[in-house]
Amino acid sequence: MDAIIKPLRGKSPDGKSQDFRPAELDPAEFLAAAVHPDQARPSRGEAEQAVQTLLAYIGENPRREGLLDTPRRVVEAYDELFQGYHQCPAEVLNRTFGETAGYDDFVLIRDMNFTSHCEHHMMPFYGKAHIAYTPVERVVGLSKLARLVDIFGHRLQTQEHLTAQLAAAVDEVLKPRGVAVMVEAEHTCMSARGIRKEGSRTFTTRFTGNFRDNPVEQARFMSMINMPSR
């Protein structure tokens, strides 16, 4: 039996039924780079010293040969893994194209692989993001949505927050008729520690505009991202 997707509904203060609308994110949170040029930050030497402290904490000898360069390598790895703090999502989406020949259906990019880090344990989670939007006259370059996933993924995240940020950024910058986002991921803080359920995946979604209000559009989106790959 096919699932029927319905708009979420809730109760207003007077007890009447009303459509649910998700909380809005602050544009300053997802449109600009997260690190400001004048923001006070520890030096690279202080960061490397922090790694040495952690090595000592777990019972290692930071002075043994195999660990002498580890603090430097860890800090260099962090520069790469968390480069999204220095990148501006709005700039990625600002270049659009108007030659669409009147195209009026949604655009979907699925299976965009990403790796991010959980803000609770700073352990990796990884998976795929699927983004669709229904343009109004102008479209964005296809690689830009993949770049957007990379920017938000290269920050400390929760999967729920990542999903909401992706949808909000596309919605705010492109002003489409609607946005649909699904993120599916495996979290190593759940598979490699704690409950140790390897292979379990978490799914999160966010819909705006015509995707939020039209169950048919939601169903089309879900059907297309579940189509077998060639």
In this structure, the answer to whether residues 115 and 195 fall within a common structural domain is: yes
> 72 is in which domain, residue-wise?
44-81
- Are residues 197 and 187 in contact, defined by beta-carbon separation less than 8 angstroms? no
Residue 6 has pLDDT above 70, yes or no: no
* Residue 112: inside a domain: yes
pLDDT tens, residue by residue, 133-160: 999 988 999 899 999 999 999 999 999 9
Q: Give a three-class secondary structure readout of 3-21.
A: CCCCCCEEECCCCCEEECC
Picking from 52, 81, 110, the residue at the C-terminal end of a domain is: 81
Q: Write the CATH number for 146.
A: 3.30.1130.10
Which of these is catalytic: 159, 165, 172, 217? 159
How many domains is the chain partitioned into structurally? 2
36 annotated active-site: no
CA distance 70 to 142: 38
Which of these is catalytic: 118, 154, 157, 165? 118
* Non-local CB neighbours of 110 within 8 Å, separated by 6+ positions: 128, 130, 131, 224, 225
Which of these is catalytic: 52, 86, 121, 161? 121
Q: Which residue has the higher pLDDT, 200 or 152?
A: 152
- Are residues 167 and 27 in contact, defined by beta-carbon separation less than 8 angstroms? no
119 annotated active-site: yes
**Model pTM score:** 0.86
Residue 61: alpha-carbon gap to chain centroid: 37
Residue 163 has pLDDT above 60, yes or no: yes
* Residue 34: inside a domain: no
118 annotated active-site: yes
> Of the given ranges (6-15, 33-42, 81-90, 102-111), which has the lowest mean pLDDT?
6-15
Tokens encoding 180: 């649909």
Q: Write the CATH number for 77.
A: 1.10.286.10
- Confidence bin at 4 (pLDDT 50/70/90): very low
> What letter would DSSP give residue 223?
H
Residue type, 134: T
Report the pLDDT averaged over residues 22-45. 80
Residue 23 has pLDDT above 50, yes or no: yes
In this structure, the answer to whether residues 56 and 166 fall within a common structural domain is: no
* Residue 187: inside a domain: yes
Q: Collapse the DSSP code of 69 into the 3-class scheme (helix H, G, I; strand E, B; otherwise coil) and give the result.
A: coil
- Residue 196: its pLDDT value, please? 84
In this structure, the answer to whether residues 66 and 176 fall within a common structural domain is: no
Report the pLDDT averaged over residues 101-129. 95
